[in-house]
Structure 1
């Protein structure tokens, strides 16, 4: 909601102006309707009927309606921004009561100055301002919550779209298919068929399951395992490349957001492997009692000039975690002297 980004004083002026216009327009229309249906019922001293313009001038020049609304809406706005949004509800109710009484006293002295006499300072104005202040705060808070929910959903949709575009690097599929082709030339059979099946499974999962809000943990673990196996397949078997994985699952039915962990795995394989240098990747993933514990460590090398930054995938993951699991995750990312460490704790229920 654009108005909420304005300074408080601008919100107050808009509030006062809208309320003033609404009251004057409503009064003018109802007065004209009553005159039309019942005939003139307010008469000037010279015997002429009171016009809409004269009634308007009486409200704002004689009775000072604009000044009354300006002061009243200022109290309501300050009470909402400084008390309701930052203090407890009991504090807000006390502040509303004191503000309403104070406004009524000011209105009483204003009437005495304008019209003489001393009406009761505690009466209808106090109740009206208190009721309006509470209703305004509750209604605005409700609208703000709905707007925030809508904005969160929009952000989540954008994050999901960005994540889908960044999840699987096309070069990964290209390199994997090349490896499968070379394997097929050297040996006819099982390994190639199994690898192709894993690749097809990854492609189906990425296309189909990524549209869902949640998938079963079993499906996600199968996807992660297929992804890791294909990454191992495309890498040569060398002593300088060490990859260790450990997946633990208690097989209790639970669900999680699809493809949530993939950017973390992708970064490990993309930035933690060098063909001509000692390197390693260690993956430990445990899901027990609906608690997910992920630990990924990989070699850390100086980034080459032609190597893209790893910020996009991590940014998407952080955004998805904050939107989907705002109070149920802890993510720690550290760059040490020789390794890159990622730790994630996630409560899935």
Structure 2
């Protein structure tokens, strides 16, 4: 679950509040220290010592420090959200300088309004404010990346826990499948024995793959071949049902997140094949130079009563692709000319 985010105006006000509280707390401590070590150095017109409350009122009523802080933090937040995050870096650098100059003009105009004299520009604050805006944006971006990374790790851990909870005594199932396999061989039911053997391979890979973030591409392809063969064995041999598969792998070392491809294949068999109607599936998988290309076309039929549409499997896969291969994959799927098409491309590890 992703961490909640504050609206930009809320971030601005929180930013201003923290800066204001920091400045006021610093002033309290510095003034207390100076008075207790060097004596009173600020007095009123009648000669009495300036109290801390009087300094606070002077800062925030007569000098309007809080207005300056609101303006400065607004510029810093705007510079981060609308320039740093959305524009090339050179625009961010130029924008920081421009905003800082504008802030100094604002300060000078404020001082002139208070004193009624000429406008005097003090460019020292411009450099300090520019450095603050620059460092603030870099720091926020660093924290944003750290938070996103923690969110991705948490979601992946949650997905692994969910998968592991589904593994109810897998050794019991393996032993049962081995028994059925032996029985099928003894009864000369070769096709049934082959189905049981491939199902056992699929389950074994499922149990082992759930414990890993990545698996060798060769193992994922072998798993996919077993799944495809198992699906084809259950279909009757008819001219109206055509399943064409082409899996090519160059053998170069590459790894992939496990079970990333099978939801697309599963949907193709589930929604693209009808025993009583002309139907087809064309699947092509190529892995070359650590780049995976998957293309699936299948016939498309109206959903039967009670049959759910395409949903959770593809949605979960989309989330996994975004979490694991953000910026390194492209996925398109949908109906085209009366058939359903899927195209996936991933730059693997």
**TM-score of the alignment, normalized to the shorter chain, above 0.5:** yes
Q: 2:291 and 2:100 mapped to 1: Cα distance?
A: 51
Matched, 1:6 2:30: no
- Residue 302 (structure 1) aligns with: 302
Task: Give how far 1:56 is off.
Answer: 0.8
Q: 1:133 and 1:285 mapped to 2: Cα distance?
A: 49
Mapping for residues 34-113 of structure 1, pairs under 5 Å: 34-113=34-113
Q: 2:285 and 2:274 mapped to 1: Cα distance?
A: 24
Q: 2:257 and 2:243 mapped to 1: Cα distance?
A: 26
Three-state SS of the structure 1 residue aligned to 2:210 is: helix
Query: Per-residue CA shift, 1:117-151, capped at 9, x if unaligned?
Result: 65841332222222222122221222222223333
| Structure 1 spans left out of the alignment, 5+ residues | 167-172
Q: 1:151 and 1:34 mapped to 2: Cα distance?
A: 47
Which deviates the most, 46-55 or 103-112?
103-112
- Residue 209 (structure 1) aligns with: 209
- What CA RMSD, in Å, does the superposition of the two structures yield over aligned residues? 3.3
- Residue 233 (structure 1) aligns with: 233
Three-state SS of the structure 2 residue aligned to 1:211 is: coil
- Residue 25 (structure 1) aligns with: 25
Query: Per-residue CA shift, 1:291-332, capped at 9, x if unaligned?
Result: 322222323221112111122111122222233223333333
Mapping for residues 114-263 of structure 1, pairs under 5 Å: 114-115=114-115, 120-156=120-156, 184=184, 187-188=187-188, 191-263=191-263
Give the conservation status (yes or no) of the 8 Å contact 2:185–2:193: no
Q: 1:116 and 1:47 mapped to 2: Cα distance?
A: 27
Query: Per-residue CA shift, 1:188-225, capped at 9, x if unaligned?
Result: 36554443332222112112112312111111111111
Task: Give how far 1:252 is off.
Answer: 1.9
Of the two structures, which has the highest relative contact order with CA contacts closer than 8 Å and spacing of 6 or more? Answer: 1
Give the conservation status (yes or no) of the 8 Å contact 1:84–1:92: yes
Task: Give how far 1:261 is off.
Answer: 0.5
Give the conservation status (yes or no) of the 8 Å contact 1:100–1:130: yes
- Residue 284 (structure 2) aligns with: 284
Task: Give how far 1:227 is off.
Answer: 1.1
Three-state SS of the structure 1 residue aligned to 2:121 is: coil
Which deviates the most, 220-229 or 323-332?
323-332
Task: Give how far 1:7 is off.
Answer: 4.1
Paired positions, count? 339
**1:55 and 1:272, CA in 2 relative to 1: closer, same or farther beyond 3 A?**
same
Give the conservation status (yes or no) of the 8 Å contact 2:330–2:345: yes
Three-state SS of the structure 2 residue aligned to 1:40 is: coil
Task: Give how far 1:259 is off.
Answer: 0.7
Q: TM-score, with normalisation over the residues of structure 2?
A: 0.83
Three-state SS of the structure 2 residue aligned to 1:188 is: coil
